[in-house]
Amino acid sequence: MHEESELVTGEAVVLDLRVAKLASRALAMALDVAIQFGLVMGAVFVLALVGPDDEALALTLVLVCLVLIMVGYPVLFETLSRGRSLGKMAVGLRVVRVDGGPIRFRHALVRGLAGFVVDFWTLGLFGAVAVIVSLCSSDGRRVGDFLAGTLVVRERVPESGGYQVLGMPPGLEGWAAQLDLTRLPDDLALASRQFLARFGELRPEAAHTLGWGLAQQVGDALGTPVPPGVPPWAFLTAVLAERRNRDHARAFQAYAARTSQVTAQPGYAVQPGYVTQPGYAAQPGYVAPAAPAAVEPDPPTPPSGTPAAPVENPFTPPS
């Protein structure tokens, strides 16, 4: 089975999605079956305690619970989580439409009914039909996927990819410093960040088309066109890098302002030899004791041989 699948979006752009292999899908299915088995055992235990005395009626209730759990479990989770059951969440898989979009209730319902009747249980010979059809399909799709128009892909990012820090492209520092980035919507910035993260995984024509589309949207939002001779990936990288640098600068200034407000309280004085504990001066709400209004005269000198009373230091740091 191929590791990637060519999907065509509504804008006629070819995308490469990582198709889930048979082993990962089998592991996710095994986890889901274990959860379903536990739910069935729980339902049987409850019916045994509070169920009717009629054996035929009790057997009917057990079969109804079995069908509801085996069909309702995947349909419910894949609908609410947009294509992920508990087993798929654990393995890092997701069900999507053949055009790459999220599935809806009708897709999950068709997959659930087909899985119960054809792929796995009623006529599926405990999954033999699903395995044979998946091996014969280039995208690893089973009967339920063909009927619903869906595909299972790998959602989890490989460990080798990691999070990449965007650096400012050379020569665009001065241009980016003049941008009004407050006009850039957060969702558009996130879409640009995701595009740059997957730039190396896309086909060249898909990367060019999507890159220019995002660059034009970002340029329209900022009120500035793409500089001549600058590729779209460099334009988006410069905008996001400048946005990140400004966010870091504002965060540092806010931290420095909070620290200076604490240490600059009126009457705050540090006695010689006093060592400030780490983070002690920056505690929120801390107010240093005010200096005395007037200097009191020194106490009389005690007679010789009388020990002097200890003087309490009001600035002793907390233990």
Residue range 26-55, pLDDT digits in tens: 999 999 999 999 999 999 999 888 878 888
Model pLDDT, residue 304: 53
Instruction: State how far the Cα of 239 lies from the Cα of 175, in Å rounded to an integer.
Output: 10
Taking the whole predicted model, whether its pTM rises above 0.95 is answered as no
Model pLDDT, residue 25: 92
* Low-confidence winner among 3-7, 164-168, 192-196, 251-255 (lowest mean pLDDT): 3-7
Model pLDDT, residue 85: 93
Model pLDDT, residue 171: 86
Instruction: State how far the Cα of 195 lies from the Cα of 202, in Å rounded to an integer.
Output: 9
Q: In this model, does residue 110 exceed pLDDT 90? A: yes
Q: In this model, does residue 23 exceed pLDDT 60? A: yes
Instruction: State how far the Cα of 150 lies from the Cα of 94, in Å rounded to an integer.
Output: 10
pLDDT, one tens digit per residue, over 185-216 is 887 888 888 888 888 778 888 888 888 989 99
Rounded percentage of the chain residues whose pLDDT exceeds 90: 34
Sequence spans of domains, the chain: 4-154, 173-263
Model pLDDT, residue 102: 85
Confidence at 105, pLDDT banded by 50, 70, 90: very high
What average pLDDT does this structure show over 273-291? 44
CB distance 269 to 245 below 8 Å: no
Model pLDDT, residue 106: 94
237: exposed, middle or buried (Cβ count in 10 Å: 0-12, 13-18, 19+): buried
Instruction: State how far the Cα of 220 lies from the Cα of 184, in Å rounded to an integer.
Output: 9
H-helix segments, 52-127: 55-80, 86-91, 105-114
Q: Is residue 300 classed as helix, strand or coil in its secondary structure? A: coil
User: 282 — phi, psi (to 5°)?
Assistant: -100, 15
pLDDT, one tens digit per residue, over 49-82 is 887 888 888 889 999 999 999 999 999 999 999 8
Confidence at 275, pLDDT banded by 50, 70, 90: very low
Model pLDDT, residue 291: 45
For the chain, the maximum distance between any two Cα atoms, rounded to a whole number of angstroms, is 107
- Torsion angle, CA of 77/80/83/86, rounded to 10 degrees? -30
CB distance 3 to 17 below 8 Å: no
Q: Identify the residue with better confidence: 293 or 127.
A: 127
Q: In this model, does residue 311 exceed pLDDT 80? A: no
List the structure tokens of 118: 């054809």
CB distance 13 to 100 below 8 Å: no
The total of other beta-carbon atoms located within 10 Å of residue 108's CB is 25
Rounded percentage of the chain residues whose pLDDT exceeds 70: 73
Q: In this model, does residue 157 exceed pLDDT 60? A: no
What average pLDDT does this structure show over 247-257? 85
Confidence at 285, pLDDT banded by 50, 70, 90: very low
H-helix segments, the chain: 22-50, 55-80, 86-91, 105-114, 128-136, 143-148, 173-177, 186-197, 204-222, 232-263
What's the start-to-end Cα distance of the chain, in Å? 65
